[in-house]
Amino acid sequence: MAATQHIFQNIRVYWLAFIAYWGIVLFGYDTGIAGGVVSQAFFQKHFGLVKEDGTIDTKRSNEVSSNVVSVLQAGAFFGALGSAPISAKYGRKWTLVGFSAIFAVGAILTTVAGGAKHGLALIYGGRVISGFGIGGISAVAPAYVSECSPKDVRGRITGMFQIMVAIGVMISYFINFGVSQNDKMKNSADVWRVPFGFQLVPCGIMLLGLFTVKESPRWLASVGRHDEAIRNLAYLRKEREDSEALLHEMAEIDAAIEEERIVRAGLGLKEALLGKGNFIRFVIAFVIFLLQQWGGQNSVGYYAPQIFSSIGYTGAKNSLLASGIYGIVKVIATAFFVFFAADSLGRRLSLFVSAIGMGTTFFILGAILKTHPPPRLAPGTTINPPPASKGMAAMLYIYVCFYSMGWGPLPWVYVSDIFPTRTRHYGLALASASQWLFNFVVSKVTPTMITNLGYKIFLMFGTINILAMGAFSLAIPETKGRSLEDMDVIFGAISAEERQAHIAKQEHYHEKHDTTSSCSDNAEKV
């Protein structure tokens, strides 16, 4: 009963997160869709990826496949960087509106692409523009949701980011699978037009939904719109504007912002990066996404059909269906962790267990692939996956469960946690940009690595997971259950005693202001 009441109390925050994170569905959908589109037989034949003897031109296929996937990340890198000044000036809500509109333009270009001569150019161009939109959304949406969420459920709500990514990826796999099973679609330009055109559905939901939500109270307070900040905070918390809990939370926000203004006045980006307690936060944000991208998930996620083909799931139907099941497992595992464990296990423990589990399953998968390689088949031949292939697929499904309990959702939650209000847009922009940069590199080289390394690619990912990601998990500070304003204390920007003094000062100011206002109102009535 209490849990239900608590969810109802924060229902407006959940709605805001639901709307903002439709852009993250785009994130997952767009990153998952390309590998399946490129693996379709009609796409390969139409764009010259098949040799005269009917076999795939591996070099050309790897090149086009990596380009279609990676140009999205290239655009997203610049979109994430550009989001910081825009978000700081115009607010989180209207920045998301702008970037979602930009995304729609790119989605339209990829959808209308047709002829073999210029079709790929339109797809590449549309993917770059869509990527610019997604990059901005991925940087701003977590900050927006984090700034609007109460601290006791912030991990759960901001963790919805990864659920929406997983849902987007899952939808992309099944859209590709559905197209491949329709005789009319799979033998026409619909093999890319339907998957790329579907992008406009979540984009439209987000664009329209943003007009039903409020601007971030923390951003409003940071730009001096204090009365509006209190109104929006009261709306989100379903509290009266003069309630003690609301005024205390507002006092915390004001105290942190005032400290930042005093310490960082006029110092801009330099102080944001090098100010006391800030540099280590940027290092953590950079490294956490470097490791996440090289942990193997994106290689599997972007090229799931190719990965499953490499372990013995031959034919479009088998590989795409196995990819779809992978997507379902990822959604269920991510949702379970975010809603039932994210705010109980803690960030460090979850990341550590996740890294060890991921690494172990990769080592097992690599060992099976080495000792029981799938049979070599003639072009066009399809067989049921042998037992060893089913075992390797099971390892991938177990792997994604471990990924979903730590290194999937928590980097975004953690980075959203650690930055103060005034520098959060810089922090999220850098984190998102570095994520997209390494995303670009990984997606560009993965097809070639799958071809050249074989089973060794899984051993490489396993080593990165256990040695690098496991060690890093134990080295970062725990942030579970701490308010955003506590982060300055955790990272040494201010002492706990100084913070309490500033909060008391702000509370005293609000009490005095409210008393004065009340007296004035009574005097007017007399």
What is the per-residue DSSP string for 387-439? HHHHHHHHHHHHHHHHHHTTTTTHHHHHHHHHS-HHHHHHHHHHHHHHHHHHH
Q: Are 396 and 326 in contact (CB under 8 A)?
A: yes
3 pLDDT higher than 90: no
53 pLDDT higher than 90: no
| 22 and 69 both lie in a single domain | yes
Give the residues across from 56 on adjacent strands.
Answer: 50
- Give residue-wise pLDDT tens across range 210-263: 999 999 998 998 888 888 999 998 998 888 888 888 888 888 888 877 776 775
Tokens 């047709």 sit on residue: 114
| 279 and 239 both lie in a single domain | no
pLDDT of residue 209: 94
Token pair in block for residue 286: 């950079």
Arithmetic mean of pLDDT, 36-44: 82
User: Is 131 inside any structural domain?
Assistant: yes
| 90 and 107 both lie in a single domain | yes
User: Is 2 inside any structural domain?
Assistant: no
Number of helical H runs and strand E runs in the chain: 29, 0
The model's confidence at residue 200, banded by pLDDT at 50, 70 and 90, is: very high
The model's confidence at residue 186, banded by pLDDT at 50, 70 and 90, is: confident
pLDDT of residue 494: 73
DSSP 8-state assignment for residue 296 = S
User: Is 1 inside any structural domain?
Assistant: no
Distance (Å, whole) CA 164 – CA 159? 9
**Which range has the worst mean pLDDT, 199-203, 417-421, 442-446, 453-457?**
417-421
pLDDT of residue 266: 57
- Give residue-wise pLDDT tens across range 499-515: 677 677 766 666 666 55
| 44 and 112 both lie in a single domain | yes
The model's confidence at residue 271, banded by pLDDT at 50, 70 and 90, is: low
Report the SS3 class of residue 73: helix
Arithmetic mean of pLDDT, 390-399: 85
Q: What is the pTM of this model?
A: 0.73
The model's confidence at residue 377, banded by pLDDT at 50, 70 and 90, is: low
Share of the chain above pLDDT 90, in %: 18
**Which range has the worst mean pLDDT, 196-205, 345-354, 408-417?**
408-417
Tokens 């939109």 sit on residue: 133
The residue out of 265, 300, 332 marking a domain boundary is: 265
User: Is 489 inside any structural domain?
Assistant: no
CATH code of the domain covering residue 36: 1.20.1250.20
| 126 and 243 both lie in a single domain | no
The model's confidence at residue 437, banded by pLDDT at 50, 70 and 90, is: confident
**Which range has the worst mean pLDDT, 23-27, 68-72, 148-152?**
148-152
User: Is 485 inside any structural domain?
Assistant: no
| 92 and 82 both lie in a single domain | yes
Sign of torsion over alpha carbons 415, 421, 425, 426 = negative
| 68 and 84 both lie in a single domain | yes
The residue out of 204, 233, 265 marking a domain boundary is: 265
Domain that holds residue 508: 495-522
Burial of 312 (0-12, 13-18, 19+ CB in 10 A): buried
User: Is 486 inside any structural domain?
Assistant: no
Please name which of 357, 479, 458 lies closest in space to residue 410, comparing C-alpha atoms: 479
- Give residue-wise pLDDT tens across range 106-117: 999 999 887 766
- Give residue-wise pLDDT tens across range 472-494: 998 888 887 777 667 778 887 67
**Which range has the worst mean pLDDT, 98-112, 158-172, 493-507?**
493-507
Count of positions (residues) in the chain = 526
Mean pLDDT score of the chain? 80
Give the helix/strand (H/E) hosting 222.
helix 217-222
| 109 and 245 both lie in a single domain | no
Distance (Å, whole) CA 254 – CA 222? 8
Q: Rounded to a whole number, what is the largest CA-CA distance in the chain? A: 96
| 276 and 425 both lie in a single domain | yes
Domain count, the chain: 4
352 pLDDT higher than 90: yes
| 182 and 300 both lie in a single domain | no
Distance (Å, whole) CA 136 – CA 345? 30
Burial of 410 (0-12, 13-18, 19+ CB in 10 A): buried
User: Is 143 inside any structural domain?
Assistant: yes
User: Is 73 inside any structural domain?
Assistant: yes
DSSP 3-state percent helix, strand, coil across the chain (nearest 5): 80, 0, 20
| 78 and 193 both lie in a single domain | yes
The residue out of 231, 250, 265 marking a domain boundary is: 265
DSSP 8-state assignment for residue 358 = H
What is the per-residue DSSP string for 477-526? PP-TT--GGGHHHHTTSS-HHHHHHHHHHHHHHHHHHHHHHHHHHHHHH-
Amino acid letter, 16: L
Q: Are 116 and 92 in contact (CB under 8 A)?
A: no
| 176 and 222 both lie in a single domain | no
425 pLDDT higher than 70: no
- Give residue-wise pLDDT tens across range 274-327: 666 778 888 888 899 889 888 887 777 666 666 777 666 665 566 667 777 888
Cα 122 to Cα 36, 38, 313, 324: the distances in Å are: 18, 15, 31, 27
Q: What are phi and psi of 465, to 5 degrees?
A: -60, -50
